[in-house]
Structure 1
Amino acid sequence: MRTTHRRRTTALAATGTAALALVLTACGGNPADSGTASAAAPAPTTAAQSTPAATGATTSAGTAPNTAAPSGAKTGAGAGAGTSTPSARPTGATQAPADPAAASAPLCAVKDVAISAALQDGPPYTHLVLTAKNTSGHSCRLSEYPRIRFLESHRENVPAVAKSRPAAPVVLTAGAPAYALVKLSDGGVHENNEPVTAFSVALDGGSGPATVKAPGNGGIAVDPAAWATGYWTYELRNGADDF
């Protein structure tokens, strides 16, 4: 009897468990399985929310500032290359002499002339006069202006004054002189003034520069910021040679 009762109790328990399982299945399945499936499924709004973020990243990259150098920098550099010191050599054509024989005269070389210097006017001495006397025994032509270098530290020639250019080239017959006015400084004592006891003068005819002794016991004082030279002329002319 006891064995039969136990079998009935076990059968009833199994039947109740099966019935409970059927009820749960009908109501939606195991709650644990339902929760896992819900977590694995993507939320409908997740993709929609991620789309603007991705779009924004693409737009930001597309609008990144250009890091190339602006064109103005190149222009500025060019402009910088475009601002150069003009030549001191005056411009303008020199008229040919009326005498054909004079036009064909060779250029005077340094060996053809004797060049000397003398102070002009009184103190303060601001100008000197160069004299070039033809000692060659034949006619020769002085071209433009003397190429003067007062200081070894300044390799450029003393600049010429355009208004002193004569209307025609200077042609010297044997024994004839020509003159050029040269400005040394603005006068007085100045920190830029430098003493000079001798200087060089070159001519377009070649044969090297001549060394000219500076006038005065102590030489002359020159100012690189103020010096200038006139063209060779037959005589000094008021107005044209005043500078």
Structure 2
Amino acid sequence: MTALFTRSTMLAVAGTALALSLTACQSGKDGNATATPPTSVTATATDDASEAATTTGPADATGPGKSSEAADSGTSGGSTGQQASTSTPACTAADITVTAAKQDGPPYTHLVLTAKNTSTHSCRLPGFPHVQLLESHKQDVPAVAKSKPAAPVVLTAGAPAYALLKVSNGGTDEDNEPVSAFSVTLEGDPTVIAVTAPGPDGIAADPAQALVGYWTPELRNGADDF
């Protein structure tokens, strides 16, 4: 009787163990089934991110918002620069000090005119210096067109500009006359600026051979070679 009970008990225990094993297997299957969806969700999220990147990327790079901003910024910058140069007041004789120096060695055929902005504000220096070398010769020295700069010359406070002035061909057969000082006027301002000729004896000038270049931020080989 005792052996039968024990056997029954053992069968019951075995049945219980089998049930538990089946339950564990079922739970394992359920666990695997449950683990599968996150894999799908992750893939979906990746696909959504790729789609978002595909959709958002070009929109960020070339979308109307940024393109418009870039275009507006470029246009605005260009317009501002252009307006700044054109709206800057023209330099007057009160803003500028003009000096002259000999260029190269003898014979001294050219002078370099320097116009320095001695004011406290920026000003625009248009055109070329209107030069008259002799009191007896009231015509302005002709300007050389190839020396004209591409952009307007705007001088900040203290900044210089330059113009080359040819006063003779350096020959002894010319009608040269001694010049100790000459007059310069700026474009748009009739005020006469008296410029002292360099050297203790001044310069020898022939108005018939004289030429002058445009104001430029710096002298340029070729354009200012005349």
Q: Secondary structure at the match of 1:208?
A: strand
Q: Secondary structure at the match of 2:94?
A: helix
Partner of 1:184: 167
**Deviations 1:198-221 (CA, angstroms, capped at 9, x unpaired):** 000001242611000000111001
Structure 1 residues 199 and 138, CA gap change in structure 2 (3 angstroms) = same
For 1:139, the aligned partner's letter is S
Quote how far apart the aligned CAs of 1:190 are: 2.7
Partner of 2:134: 151
Is 1:120 matched with 2:103?
A: yes
Quote how far apart the aligned CAs of 1:191 are: 4.1
Given candidates 154, 157, 167, the residue that maps to 1:174 is: 157
Is 1:142 matched with 2:125?
A: yes
- TM-score norm. by structure 2 comes to 0.63
Given candidates 107, 112, 122, the residue that maps to 2:90 is: 107
The 5-angstrom pairing of residues 31-42 of structure 1 reads none
Structure 1 residues 97 and 194, CA gap change in structure 2 (3 angstroms) = farther
Structure 1: distance between partners of 2:224 and 2:184: 19
Q: Structure 1: where are the runs of 5+ without partners?
A: 1-95
For 1:154, the aligned partner's letter is H
Native 8 Å contact 1:109 1:207 kept in 2: no
Native 8 Å contact 2:144 2:211 kept in 1: yes
Partner of 1:225: 208
**Deviations 1:2-42 (CA, angstroms, capped at 9, x unpaired):** xxxxxxxxxxxxxxxxxxxxxxxxxxxxxxxxxxxxxxxxx
Q: Structure 2: where are the runs of 5+ without partners?
A: 1-78
**Deviations 1:122-150 (CA, angstroms, capped at 9, x unpaired):** 01110000000001110111110000000
Matched pairs, number: 148
The 5-angstrom pairing of residues 78-97 of structure 1 reads none
Partner of 2:180: 197
Partner of 1:67: none
Structure 2: distance between partners of 1:233 and 1:190: 32
Quote how far apart the aligned CAs of 1:189 are: 1.8
Is 1:131 matched with 2:150?
A: no
**Deviations 1:136-165 (CA, angstroms, capped at 9, x unpaired):** 110111110000000111111000001101
Partner of 1:8: none
Deviating 4+ runs (over 2 angstroms):
96-99
Native 8 Å contact 1:179 1:236 kept in 2: yes
The 5-angstrom pairing of residues 44-63 of structure 1 reads none
Partner of 1:32: none
Quote how far apart the aligned CAs of 1:115 are: 0.5
- TM-score norm. by structure 1 comes to 0.59
Greater helix percent: which structure? 2
For 1:209, the aligned partner's letter is V
CA RMSD of aligned residues (A): 1.6
Native 8 Å contact 2:85 2:152 kept in 1: no
